[in-house]
Amino acid sequence: MRIAMLTNNYKPFVGGVPISIERLSNGLRELGHQVYIFAPSYEGQVEEPYVIRYRSHKRKLGGKIVVPYILDQSIEFGFSQIPFDIIHVHHPMLMGYIAQYLGWKYDIPIVFTYHTRYEQYLHYLPPYDHLQRYCNNNSKSKIRRLEKKVLYNGGEKLVTVHNRVFTNKCSLVLAPTNSMKEYLLNNGTITNVQVIPTGLLDEDFTYDSDRAKDIRRRHINGRKYLFCTVSRLEKEKNISFLLKGLARFKANAGDCFRFLVIGDGSERAQLEEEARLLGIWDNAIFTGCINHEELPNYYRACDSFLFASRSETQGIVLLEAMAVGLPVVAVEASGVNDVVKDGFNGYLSELDVEQWEAKLSLLLEKEGKREWMSCNAIEEAISYHASNVSKKVEQLYFDQIANERVVEYL
């Protein structure tokens, strides 16, 4: 097969969608297929075979996120040079519109992966961000609550309607978890929805014991526990919640831990200041970005992976941490609940600092149970191996192409 992957973001941007695209593309190539990725241009990008770059707007969303220039004629020109069998698009907006156009013009089935809870990202849009800031600064609490309700509900409904219309124009929709499949169906998607997670690689399960011990020794600084999270440092990732939870944990359990915040983003300075104000400046270590190949060693060096994002559709970092036996303490959310089994391979709490801190304390109470959870975490991660994922997607592609030919014949 000749497969066209269309995306609004890709390497060198760090995020779950580029990881998912790269892993699926490589897996499909190993099965003998030709996969081309249509991706925006970035400063400092590394040219790769089978990656077709198109222009980006000079102005970035939120000052950081590249915005595709979808009117770039090189997109259709590059597409027209290859007789593609199927289009796989990874966003419902921007390149999503181009995918719909190309699918219609060249009579090719369109597969769409629902990667992102887009209603959680509305603050990146300038009009919405201005309204949100106004609501937060309004001194009258009743008016502020009413404005926030209208703001959030209105934005969420708009996104839901848009995505329902988009998904129902696709041939097939892929969701990374069962909860995301149910979410789409409950919001009116009638197109066939199949559950296909982002897969893990062999290297996600391997680590260097000596290197992990060295990382732990270097960062723990005489404390008993070492925790970590891996995330872009942006508002939707809810790192602030983790800092508040750990401040409470410190008040209850004492100065017995350090916390590695692995990643970078526009909220970093604000989060560092928050850690200082909460009295955990010496406990929280903001490492910046770390090479993906090194992450298993960092995970293995720690006692628990901490997570509070509610914007995930799967949360690939949860599985990466679990692949080397790291139990998770997370906030309940769609996508997260599919991976973390409360009391089995980690703990889940509501979006409540007191409850979350209690779950963290519970994890640390008994060493034997933590080791049992560690084994369960690895078993859960194994079921998400990338080779299995690529074969499933391959068969779904074949089915869509066959269905298209039957329709043409009729």
Q: What is the pLDDT of residue 26?
A: 95
Q: What is the pLDDT of residue 289?
A: 94
For residue 313, name the pLDDT band (cuts at 50, 70, 90).
confident
What secondary structure letter does DSSP report for 347? E
Q: Rounded to whole angstroms, what are the CA distances from 294 to 40, 195, 226, 322?
A: 27, 29, 17, 15
In three-state form (DSSP H/G/I as H, E/B as E, the rest C), the secondary structure along 18-76 is: HHHHHHHHHHHHHCCCEEEEEEECCCCCCCCCCEEEECECCCCECCCECCECCCCCHHH
The pTM assigned to this predicted structure is: 0.84
Instruction: Say if CB 117 and CB 312 are below 8 A apart.
Output: yes
The type of residue at 346 is G
> What average pLDDT does this structure show over 120-133?
59
Q: What is the pLDDT of residue 238?
A: 96
Distance CA 327, CA 347 (A): 8
The type of residue at 186 is N
What the block records as the tokens of 344 is 């089995």
Distance CA 10, CA 388 (A): 23
Q: What is the pLDDT of residue 166?
A: 98
Q: Within its chain, how far is the Cα of 322 from the centroid? A: 16
Express each pLDDT in 139-198 by its tens digit: 555 555 555 555 556 678 889 999 999 999 999 999 999 999 999 999 999 999 999 999
> What average pLDDT does this structure show over 386-407?
88
- The residues facing 282 across adjacent strands are none
What secondary structure letter does DSSP report for 199? P
- The average confidence (pLDDT) of the chain is 91
Least confident among 18-22, 107-111, 130-134, 346-350: 130-134
Express each pLDDT in 216-271 by its tens digit: 999 999 999 999 999 999 988 999 999 999 999 999 999 999 999 999 999 999 99
- The residues facing 262 across adjacent strands are 230, 288
Peptide bond into 12 cis (omega under 30): yes
Express each pLDDT in 25-50 by its tens digit: 999 999 999 999 999 999 989 999 99
Buried b (16+ CB within 10 A) or exposed e, 36-49: bbbbbeeeeeeeee
H-helix segments, 107-238: 126-137, 141-167, 178-186, 209-220
Q: What is the pLDDT of residue 65?
A: 81
Q: What is the pLDDT of residue 152?
A: 59
Q: What is the pLDDT of residue 120?
A: 64
Residue 404 predicted with pLDDT over 70: yes
Express each pLDDT in 276-303 by its tens digit: 999 999 999 999 999 999 999 999 999 9
Residue in the structure block whose two tokens are 């020109």:
77
Q: What is the pLDDT of residue 63?
A: 66
Instruction: Say if CB 393 and CB 196 are below 8 A apart.
Output: yes
Q: β-strand 2-6 against 86-89: which pairing, if any?
A: parallel
> What average pLDDT does this structure show over 67-83?
96
Q: What is the pLDDT of residue 98?
A: 98
- Which residue ranges form the domains of the chain, and what is each CATH number? 2-118+161-199+386-409 (3.40.50.2000), 202-382 (3.40.50.2000)
Express each pLDDT in 331-349 by its tens digit: 999 889 999 999 999 999 9
Q: What is the pLDDT of residue 15?
A: 84
3-state secondary structure of 133: helix
Q: What is the pLDDT of residue 61?
A: 77
Residue 409 predicted with pLDDT over 70: no
Instruction: Say if CB 38 and CB 58 are below 8 A apart.
Output: no
- The residues facing 329 across adjacent strands are 306, 347
Distance CA 93, CA 158 (A): 13
**Residue 175 backbone phi and psi in degrees, to 5:** -120, 140
Of all residues in the chain, the percent with pLDDT exceeding 90 is 78
Q: What is the pLDDT of residue 321?
A: 98
For residue 64, name the pLDDT band (cuts at 50, 70, 90).
confident
Q: What is the pLDDT of residue 155?
A: 72
- The residues facing 328 across adjacent strands are 305, 346
**Residue 129 backbone phi and psi in degrees, to 5:** -65, -40
Highest mean pLDDT among 114-118, 141-145, 208-212 belongs to 208-212
Residue 133 predicted with pLDDT over 70: no
Q: How many CA atoms lie within 13 A of 72 on its CB side?
A: 20
> What average pLDDT does this structure show over 91-112?
97
Helix (H) or strand (E) holding 241: helix 239-253
First to last CA, the chain: 23
> What average pLDDT does this structure show over 354-368?
96
Residue 124 predicted with pLDDT over 60: no
Q: What is the pLDDT of residue 268?
A: 96
